[in-house]
Amino acid sequence: MSILSYRCPNTSKEIETSIDTDPAALVRMGKLKVGVVCPYCPGGHVVTADSMFFRFELESSSGAR
């Protein structure tokens, strides 16, 4: 299991949530809307599960080790 992250739609900064799940569960959530706190925007955001990601996905896609 891993922690989900998302990008703030206003600042494009990566924010880690407290949602701990696995890739298969994230795929099953699809277009589910999730209310998330944003340290940069008052009121937070509502994002779809399919727009969220695991940090390791970014690291592996960018070639970072």
pLDDT single digits (tens) 40-49? 999 999 999 9
Q: Can you give the pLDDT at residue 1?
A: 80
Confidence band, pLDDT 50/70/90 cuts, at residue 3: very high
Radius of gyration of the chain (CA): 12
In the chain, the number of structural domains is 1
Say whether pLDDT at 65 is over 70: no
Which domain range does residue 52 map to? 2-62
Return d(Cα 42, Cα 31) in angstroms, integer.
23
Residues 28-57: what's their mean pLDDT? 92
